[in-house]
Structure 1
Amino acid sequence: MVARRWRLAAGVLSGALALALCAVLVDRFVLNAEWWQVRHTVTTRPVAPQGEIGPPPGPLTVSWERTARIHHGPVAAYDSVAYEVADGQVVTASGRGLEVRDARTGDDRWSYRRAGWTLLGWASTGARLVAYFERDGDRGDRQMVGLDALSGGLLWRRGDAEHPAAAGRATLRWPAAEDVVLTTDERRRELYGRSAATGSRVWRMRLPARCALFDGRARPAAGGEDLAVVALDCPGRSRLIALDPRNGRVRWNHPLGSRGAPEVAMVEGVTLAADGSALRAYDRDGKQFAQWPGDAVCGDGTLCPGALLDGRLVVSYHPRGEPEGASRLEAVEVASGRRAWSRDAPEYAAFAQAGDRIYGLRARLAEGLLPAGVDIIEPTYGGARTAPAPFAVDPEIDGVRPWLAAAGGLLYVAVPEAAPRPDGAARLVALRGGPAGTGPAELGGVPESDWPDACGLLKRPDLAAVRMDDYETRPGRAVVGTVKLPRPVTCAYEAKEPRKRAKARPGDRPRDERTLAGEPRAGEPGAGEPGAGEPGAGEPGAGEPGADSPNGDLAPGSSEPERPKPEPSGTKGSPAPKGSKTAGKPDDAGLGESESSDRTLRISVRWVAPTGSAASGLLDALQSTQSKARRRTDLGGDEVYELGPTAGTIAMRVDRYIIVIDANRTSGTAVSLAKSVATRLHRPPP
């Protein structure tokens, strides 16, 4: 009996041990197995480094482009996409993982992803990349992976990884230099240096008392070739410390002007930090050589674009005390801190430096026009040569900050998109020099004479069909660089207020008699205003702004080398594009905040492209920036989109022309006007 009990107990124990062993094996080799979680491709194809040169001045065309969808992972505010160009490759980092492409062609080279995991940080140093992942739903389960940057081959993997030190939400980057990545503990009060080649710990450093690394901020650290800079959350004021990444030794340590988390960037060894009180610039040895005060000197939650060339730091910033939208471009000598020059300039979203050129990206080529603009900035005095970019930009869309890099004769630009909806994407475009054309480079080689008169696209019967019988026209013009378009690019039609009928006086003839006698009715040509599309429409006249009036003209175009002057970015007669996200209005990207009301209609010539295919690509880029866009095929245009939640705004392409109609009247007003415009542009007058 006792023997049977012992055998039974032994059998139960053996079964329990077998189940436990099976559970361990299943957890290790199935649930947590690398073979099904990891999607890893490698390459053996060689790639040649690119020279430090961008495209020449002049029109730009697309060499290749790719999109990366936004990954909405379990960790809030890390839904961004970041890029880097190095060693002939383009690295795309997002919550989905790493994708590496050939920088010349855009072809895939290698990738690394983990199913059920989200990438929350990556670092690049030398010929190695390091990626940090957390399991979805279990932030305590972490993986840090070291990869060969050229082949994608796995170098090492650690499951007991520390956290990245001060990884930025905006770029997912964390600081690394000299083949060492910086990590930290759970409390963020210690710094460690780990070898990017082996994953082993190289050094350890305790942070100053009562100080900790900032966590979950946009860009709280930066790294260069031989220097790493991190921001510290300390009592009273935040601080910046610069480290030698090889041994963790502090190179310099400076307090900032507020307790807020700064945005930090490094430009060729120069550190830029904006903390809400000022933008400060430090040289490699930690000497502060420049400061631009102001709580909005870099805008809202961004960092001022900067570039270093010939010992001069060139920065685009918002001057304190100036009205909203004012922007300046300034160059400071790093060695002496002396200001070399300063001038009014358009607002730049990003800079890139290659060779002896500085490239600046601005969200709008000119107010009222659709394309983004690319400037080649002259570092000696700040003048710029402008060219349109074949895409639209709305910097307020989440997912990627506008980004710029130049190498191998190409210019790489990353911009956010709202499509595919609702998650959105980041579009990466590689640009090269395009055909010169017969017109100015500022217009993409299209002659000024090819631009139609916006006030001639609608005739009086077209307006009468939408019950706009009595109106006033307000044309708006545009200047791009030194080129002033000869005809209005926008035309607003504002209905006149109904006039009260005056009492008849003795001797007055009835209205019908005056009309029969040859006196025109109000609103007809000759009754005090030119008719839309008739001779004089859109030209300077009584009561209308024109080429020489304050409401229809622009500031002078270009600056003289010896005396730089502000460069205009658009018209005063057309509404400035603003990042309005108000319900019922289209998003930004060239459309601006609607001025339409029940009494106003607006028609705009947003661009004239060299070819119909180029115009098609630009219109597609526009609709991709809109949160709501519906395609129409019944309005007569080659491509037509309704933008926004209602049918009040229509963007259309007719051959090479991109037209936007904004009419918040009855539901069919914009549709009716779009049909009229399409018919007129398809059948130009002889």
Structure 2
Amino acid sequence: MEREGGGRDVVGGRRPPREGTGASGRGRLALGVLSGVLVVTVVAVMAGRFVLQAEWWQVRHSVTAAPVAPQAALGPPPGPLAVSWQRSAQVRRGTLAGHGSVAHELAQGQVVTASGRGLEVRDARTGTERWSYRRTGWTLLGWSTTRSRLVGYFERTGHRGERQTVGFDALSGGVMWRRAGAERPAAATRTTLRWPGGSGVVLTTDEERRTLYGRSADDGGKRWTRELPPGCRLFEDASHASDGVEELSVLALDCEGRSRLVAVEPSGGRVRWIRSLGSQESPEVRVLDGATLAFDGTALRAYDEDGAQIGVWNGDEVCGDAMCPAVVVRGRLIVAYRPGGGREERRRHADRNRGADAGPAGSAGAGRDRGRLESVEVSSGRSQWTRDVPGYAAVAEAGGRVYALRPRLDERLLPAGVDVLDPADGTATTVPAPFAMDPALSGARPWLAAAGGLLYAAVPEAAPRPTGSARLVALRGGFAGPGPAELGGVAEADWPDACGLLKAPDLADAHLDGEYTTKPGRAGFGDVRLPRPVTCTYEIEGADLIEQPGPADPDERDRDLPGDTVPSASPGSPVPSASGSPGTGGPVPSERGRPGDSGSAKPRTSASPRRTASPDGRETGWGKRGLTVTVKWVAPSAPTASALLQTLQATQSQTRRRTDIGGDEAYEIGPTAGTIALRVDRYIVMVDATQPPGAATRLARAIAGRLPHTR
């Protein structure tokens, strides 16, 4: 045996194997690697379970121990309305199309606001927050209320297979139970996220959507199971294919050949009735106490609590883009719908009524704002009365009164309106709402409810950009003023003449001098007809104008204006277009003269600006130009007018504040310069003049200096 310099033994000229490199060493190495992998796996699982999915950091949950008083079924009396409190809930678009809405519900003295972000519950009397629940990285895709329980359904964002259902005490917000599993809400409504529930039970379904389960809202336990008819399944992610009250839930079924309705008693799962509809499309469903409405794209049908059809209104768009507003009061089904319903019939009707002036409540304007209100006796299906009305956006009932929300008090004026109707005969009192609205905006369906002497309204807004929000307003009875309730208590004599707000020097200063034609227009609603024109359109002749390549004044050149810059204006906006006041088309008599001549003719939309060309093709000027001045509203006070103007700019998808015009507030509205909304004290005026450049600004300055100021 030899020893090398390192002291290690050398046997037969070979070194002995290194320690750990034999069979036993390799086994220990493999065991070590396996142990490491196992440790990493366990750590990952534990981290995923106790960190990534842990409640302590995911959930933002607040509760309350403060009592809340229930509200009586009573709304405000007919008369002026004032804001009691208001809040805005921002729309947050999720990864699932169509689930970016904000919805509201009134129950047990509380207002529930539900959106993809989670739940927020406020005291209905004061608007103070009571409790809330949100989960970071999760989206609320359904919610249901029954008795004293509220149940929310959440899915992990980007992982639809990870689901969780949480039951809350509706008054305190405390978590009663939590379940993770494959079941999901039965036919949750995409636009409001509501899903049926009642009698202390919520309805769920499996992955195939062919079975109904009734789960207790108290502990989440399964109470009953019901198989759907063969060949039928629940619609998935439908717009509004389910609804319910405490004693009855009605769901739409996607069956072979056509859709059906199934009415289920949530208490025990008994099927009360099944009815076939007229198309294969997913219907809109509304359930009221004693009546169910379904609109399937071919007709609006009404059924009593036993499934007997009590009414049908044919038409492919009898309800438009959303379910027809309806209430049941004292055994009467009162439903608002579009007369005719079919596209062709509505077009012929609009042609016959083109140019019709806006009438009082109980009459209708022209075009898309027309509507009809009908009362049907639920027990017999007999029609009791019908009324032509504006196109109502929402209706509610409380204390034997029916409240209807109209997008505009009058087509020329700024505020929305509320009609307070007698269900016995449909007679109405019309009052202004202290906000402007645009029902064409997405993110929230217009909503109305009444309780505790208050009227609650929710309307969509374009701000904050780009997703928008839903404004929730609680309205109470306001103070009566010297004027009629239809004008918010403002006397008719306080309304200025729209054709008297500009003088000849004002037009000349705006480079609009020349012979002109004025076309005044008046407004009326309820029992009120304003004695002076609220809108005035000027058409100025000017065939020999020199070329004007840009603004005459340096301060009117393109520049960055203070305020927010946002996308273009949305359809259905209460702001008139650049070519004049909305809805006033049709040839009418006109008068020639100087500014201040009001005349008595109704206005028509002014002609579009037209440039003329020289023989060499160079543009030389405008042949005929138009401008419109509209007194949008006269409020009882300056703060009320300011709040109303703020709601206007919140409904616009593009506004820029102007601080260089004068008055108290001014906004430039639209994608290009030319429309100015101006407030001076309690007066709100809109100027619409697209040509020449800077004309609207100069005219608005002139009006700001001419309107009376009480301070």
Is the shorter-chain TM-score for this pair beyond 0.5, marking a shared fold?
yes
SS in 2 for 1:348: coil
Structure 2 Cα separation of the partners of residues 644 and 528 of structure 1: 30
Q: In the TM superposition, what whole-angstrom CA distance separates every residue of 1:542-590 from its partner, at most 9, and x where no partner exists? A: xxx1xxxxxx2xxxxxxxxxxxxxxxxxxxx4669xxxxxxxxxxxxxx
Q: 1:531 aligns with which of 594, 616, 637?
A: 594
Of residues 449-458 and 270-279 in structure 1, the stretch that sits farther from structure 2 once superposed is: 270-279
Quote the residue 2:172 is aligned against.
Answer: 151
Equivalent residues in 2 for 1:291-310 (5 A)?
A: 291-299=312-320, 301-310=321-330
Structure 1 residue 5 displacement after superposition:
3.9
Structure 1 residue 606 displacement after superposition:
0.3
* Counterpart AA for 1:304: C
SS in 2 for 1:298: coil
Quote the residue 2:311 is aligned against.
Answer: 290
Quote the residue 2:395 is aligned against.
Answer: 351
Q: 1:328 aligns with which of 350, 365, 372?
A: 372
Quote the residue 2:683 is aligned against.
Answer: 657
Q: 1:251 aligns with which of 272, 287, 311?
A: 272
Quote the residue 1:125 is aligned against.
Answer: 146
* Counterpart AA for 2:110: Q
- Find out whether 1:396 has 2:440 as its counterpart: yes
Quote the residue 1:93 is aligned against.
Answer: 114
Structure 1 residue 200 displacement after superposition:
1.6
TM-score by length of 2: 0.83
Q: 2:412 aligns with which of 343, 349, 368?
A: 368
Structure 1 Cα separation of the partners of residues 395 and 709 of structure 2: 43
SS in 2 for 1:199: coil
Structure 1 Cα separation of the partners of residues 268 and 675 of structure 2: 60
Structure 1 Cα separation of the partners of residues 148 and 623 of structure 2: 58
Quote the residue 1:509 is aligned against.
Answer: none
SS in 1 for 2:657: strand
Conserved in 1, the CA contact under 8 Å of 2:142 and 2:153? yes
Structure 2 Cα separation of the partners of residues 183 and 3 of structure 1: 58
Quote the residue 1:387 is aligned against.
Answer: 431
- Find out whether 1:212 has 2:275 as its counterpart: no
TM-score by length of 1: 0.86
Quote the residue 1:556 is aligned against.
Answer: none
Structure 1 Cα separation of the partners of residues 84 and 312 of structure 2: 39
Q: In the TM superposition, what whole-angstrom CA distance separates every residue of 1:392-438 from its partner, at most 9, and x where no partner exists? A: 11001000010000000000000000001111000000000001011
Structure 2 Cα separation of the partners of residues 15 and 398 of structure 1: 53
Structure 2 Cα separation of the partners of residues 211 and 417 of structure 1: 39
Structure 1 residue 141 displacement after superposition:
1.1
Aligned-pair identity in percent equals 60
Conserved in 1, the CA contact under 8 Å of 2:458 and 2:470? yes
Of residues 215-224 and 313-322 in structure 1, the stretch that sits farther from structure 2 once superposed is: 313-322
Equivalent residues in 2 for 1:262-273 (5 A)?
A: 262-273=283-294
Structure 1 Cα separation of the partners of residues 66 and 457 of structure 2: 25
Structure 1 Cα separation of the partners of residues 663 and 442 of structure 2: 31
Structure 1 Cα separation of the partners of residues 251 and 290 of structure 2: 14
Quote the residue 2:537 is aligned against.
Answer: 492
* Counterpart AA for 1:461: P
Q: In the TM superposition, what whole-angstrom CA distance separates every residue of 1:133-192 from its partner, at most 9, and x where no partner exists? A: 111111111111111100101011111141211111111101111111111122222211
- Find out whether 1:312 has 2:372 as its counterpart: no
Q: 1:638 aligns with which of 659, 664, 676?
A: 664
Structure 2 Cα separation of the partners of residues 6 and 498 of structure 1: 101
Conserved in 2, the CA contact under 8 Å of 1:224 and 1:269? no
Conserved in 2, the CA contact under 8 Å of 1:597 and 1:665? no
Equivalent residues in 2 for 1:53-72 (5 A)?
A: 53-72=74-93
Larger Rg: 2
Structure 2 Cα separation of the partners of residues 319 and 278 of structure 1: 12
Gaps of 5+ in 1: 500-526, 546-551, 553-572, 577-595
Structure 1 residue 601 displacement after superposition:
0.4
RMSD (CA atoms): 1.9
SS in 1 for 2:593: coil
Quote the residue 1:427 is aligned against.
Answer: 471
* Counterpart AA for 2:255: C
SS in 1 for 2:50: helix
SS in 2 for 1:22: helix
* Counterpart AA for 1:531: R
- Find out whether 1:474 has 2:519 as its counterpart: yes
Quote the residue 2:705 is aligned against.
Answer: 679
- Find out whether 1:462 has 2:506 as its counterpart: yes
Quote the residue 1:505 is aligned against.
Answer: none
Conserved in 2, the CA contact under 8 Å of 1:146 and 1:157? yes
Structure 1 residue 667 displacement after superposition:
2.5
Of residues 478-487 and 195-204 in structure 1, the stretch that sits farther from structure 2 once superposed is: 195-204
Conserved in 2, the CA contact under 8 Å of 1:189 and 1:207? yes
Structure 1 Cα separation of the partners of residues 422 and 509 of structure 2: 52
Structure 1 residue 635 displacement after superposition:
0.2
Quote the residue 2:357 is aligned against.
Answer: none
* Counterpart AA for 1:312: R
Q: In the TM superposition, what whole-angstrom CA distance separates every residue of 1:222-266 from its partner, at most 9, and x where no partner exists? A: 111110000011122211110011222210000011111110011
* Counterpart AA for 2:536: C
Structure 1 Cα separation of the partners of residues 392 and 401 of structure 2: 15
Structure 1 residue 528 displacement after superposition:
7.7
Conserved in 2, the CA contact under 8 Å of 1:490 and 1:574? no
Aligned residues: 605
Q: 1:85 to 1:574 in 2, by over 3 A?
A: farther
Structure 1 Cα separation of the partners of residues 221 and 108 of structure 2: 25
* Counterpart AA for 1:296: E
* Counterpart AA for 1:248: G
- Find out whether 1:448 has 2:492 as its counterpart: yes
